[in-house]
Structure 1
Amino acid sequence: MKAGTKPVRFLAALAAIAFATAACADDSTGGGNGGAPASSGASGGSIKEGLKIAFLPKQVNNPYFTVSDNGGKAAVEEFKGSYSETGPSEASPSAQVSYINTLSQQQTDVIVVSANDKDAICGALNEARQAGAKVVTFDSDTNPSCRDLFVNQASTEGIAQIQLKLISEAVGPDGGEIAILSATANATNQNTWIEMMKQELAKPEYTKLKLVDTVYGDDQDQKSFTETQGLLAKHPNLKGIIAPTTVGIAAAGRYLSGSSYKGKVALTGLGTPNQMRAYVKDGTVKSFALWNPADLGYLAAYAGGALASGLISGKEGDKFTAGKLGEYTVGKDGTVVLGEPFTFTAANIDQLNF
């Protein structure tokens, strides 16, 4: 779905989702045949029953991953697999290695992981693959050589473009200084989006925006809060902050809403409606973006099930059916794209619950 398009259909689907529940029943971001049998593959085969599928998020106490992993759980239950979730409580580069090793020893069929670092877990993942596991990265990728598929939230260009568009609109026609509050310095997805935003800033429509700083909250609430405070102290003329991380945008919103900067410094980025509702309603945030994280986990689970069942190999052009989301096609470098981000505003945020 393109940001800002098909809002009625999108909202109707998401309105049925409680926090941390299953994926939407009638979303068609895969461009395919919603309503197809839950375990059907493009080749006419079926996902094997009883597959052991483990989700390994960046950190287990992150609300975003609670929602995405529960989407994965719903999918695994549909094709009669065995679901589990494990992972570190802090998003550090090497924190996931021991969990991968344990999952490999447990003969897990599919490891679905959001990488804290594109390189740090590669050795462990390749050992798991040699032991027979299929590896699907989602949300944040590793090097392509370390996994079988990457399930991406949206196109890199789309994520970068929507965030710059929203901060430009929030700051206003006079532009000014902006900064980025990211997650960890090694997060693959964050760094890719930031580089693309820098490229977008060179376009004529953004000549009045000046990126003056990028800081890292490490996907920790208090550190992100403190980094927001530090940005404003360091850059007294700051007009806007982009936080392409759900933890970061919520922490920045909390700081701004209780400070003298409320209404003076714009904030946007990637967040969930339940985290951001209060800050939209009190005027701290005009708009922000995200995809449906439950759908992301749901799609990743089906991709892993299709791999482990031999329905696809992960090569470009492979097709598989992701339950209620419909048919998807594997793209370049073994990447599957969920869809484009959606924009949340005061006009629609009360219709969404995740």
Structure 2
Amino acid sequence: MFRHLRRTVAPVALGAVVALGLTACGGTTRDSVESEQPGAGGGEPAATADPNAPIKEGLKIAFLPKQLNNPYSDVETGGGEAAVAELKGEYKLVGPNDASASSQVSYINTLIQQQQDVIGIAANDANAVCPSLQQAREAGIKVVSFDSDAAKECRDVFINQATTEGIGQKLVEMATALTGGQGEIAILSATPNATNQNAWIEVVNAELQKPENAGLELVATVYGNDDDQKSFQEAQGLLATHPNLKVIVAPTTVGIAAAARYISGSEYKGRVAVTGLGLPNQMREYVKDGTVAQFALWNPADIGYLAGYAGAALASGQITGAEGETFTAGKLGEYTIGADGEVVLGPPTVFDASNIDQFDF
């Protein structure tokens, strides 16, 4: 699933994606691309990519997810580990047990001391990690943000799950389908500073201003901090405060599973829908018992896998992070870097009772 032999990633902009089911395709060249600007992070001297440079063996590639022991992050970093193994590198996994804004900083500092070649990070806070990531880059370490971006000036490339606009639009589309386009909805997000969550929520708010979505009313946005129990409690609180709520939209795998668990065992089952972004294995029981009609996600293992290959390409000099450069990511095929150093994995899939048993992650 989500496998294409060749992809071209267009710059992210409103209207750039007509529908999530469309994958951007097109021709690119493997000619050497000289950066006319600093690598995506800015503040570094222009560099020249050598697309024919061999991938170095023995690269030390470290992954720093938002938090350890998070089911989504575990799948994601598992894909990174698989990529590093294929690349004959040295894989390292470090991270906090909580997803607070500054919890990743000490790990970045340690990775700098350990002289890693690449740091892959899903940032809890785009700006809190920036000074340490800049120190890493000054030390010659390549920085790949994935899933949740760091500030652009602090990394070389960003591996995005799908376009920000596409994800936000899909969340509204699913809420519309579940409400018939009329009624109250609420968002149960991760942390208040989560870059990806906030970007998607911003698109949701913009979509709700459109005339065709005038029947939907966003009554609350709450935060479960990617903690199962807190997310469960926030779901309870939403229904206590908004008894006419029709849909909880949770763009976080922890939040959607916690909300579904609460609704499935409450008086609200059948009255309040749950949708958002979730893992099929976590959500299967709630789809089968009728609590959740549909939700969406990409394959998180592919995000980590793509991040691993992007990091190796950077550390080997194949790419610098400049727009238009291309690199090959193993079984996923060839990718082209878009504006601001962004690489888009591809469109997510909508899961429901008709297809959920076809997926195992």
Aligned to 2:16: none
Gaps of 5+ in 2: 9-24, 27-48
Which one-letter code corresponds to 1:252 in the other structure? A
The separation in 1 between residues aligned to 2:6 and 2:260, in whole angstroms, is 30
Please show how residues 25-40 of structure 1 align to structure 2 within 5 Å. Answer: 26-28=3-5, 30=7
Aligned to 1:279: 286
- RMSD over aligned Cα, in angstroms? 1.5
Aligned to 1:123: 131
The separation in 1 between residues aligned to 2:358 and 2:137, in whole angstroms, is 42
1:138 equivalenced with 2:146 (yes/no): yes
Please give the per-residue CA displacement for 1:214-238, whole angstroms capped at 9, x wherever unaligned. 0000000000000000000001111
Aligned to 1:306: 313
Matched-pair contact (CA < 8 Å) for 1:42–1:320: no
Quickly say closer, same or farther: Cα 1:42–1:241, change in 2 above 3 A: farther
Please show how residues 82-97 of structure 1 align to structure 2 within 5 Å. Answer: 82-97=90-105
Gaps of 5+ in 1: 1-9, 14-25, 34-40
The separation in 1 between residues aligned to 2:292 and 2:311, in whole angstroms, is 37
Matched-pair contact (CA < 8 Å) for 1:135–1:147: yes
Matched-pair contact (CA < 8 Å) for 1:29–1:338: no
Q: Which of 308, 325, 333 is 1:318 aligned to?
A: 325
The separation in 1 between residues aligned to 2:269 and 2:137, in whole angstroms, is 49
Please give the per-residue CA displacement for 1:273-302, whole angstroms capped at 9, x wherever unaligned. 001000000010000000010111100000
Please give the per-residue CA displacement for 1:174-210, whole angstroms capped at 9, x wherever unaligned. x101000000000010000000000011222211100
**Once structures 1 and 2 are overlaid, which stretch shifts more, 217-226 or 74-83?**
74-83
Quickly say closer, same or farther: Cα 1:235–1:29, change in 2 above 3 A: farther
Aligned to 2:37: none
Matched-pair contact (CA < 8 Å) for 2:149–2:158: yes
Using the size of structure 2 for normalisation, the TM-score is 0.87
Matched-pair contact (CA < 8 Å) for 1:158–1:341: no
Q: Which of 55, 67, 70 is 1:62 aligned to?
A: 70
Which one-letter code corresponds to 1:120 in the other structure? A
| Superposed displacement of residue 42, structure 1 | 8.0
Aligned to 2:168: 160
The separation in 2 between residues aligned to 1:205 and 1:327, in whole angstroms, is 37
**Deviation beyond 6 Å, 4+ runs, structure 1:** none
Aligned to 1:44: 52
Please give the per-residue CA displacement for 1:15-60, whole angstroms capped at 9, x wherever unaligned. xxxxxxxxxxx54473689xxxxxxx98232210000000000001
Which one-letter code corresponds to 1:347 in the other structure? S
Matched-pair contact (CA < 8 Å) for 2:192–2:198: yes
Secondary structure of 1:145's counterpart equals helix
Matched-pair contact (CA < 8 Å) for 1:110–1:133: yes
Aligned to 1:37: none
Matched-pair contact (CA < 8 Å) for 2:51–2:317: no
Matched-pair contact (CA < 8 Å) for 2:50–2:317: no
Using the size of structure 1 for normalisation, the TM-score is 0.89
The separation in 2 between residues aligned to 1:98 and 1:104, in whole angstroms, is 10
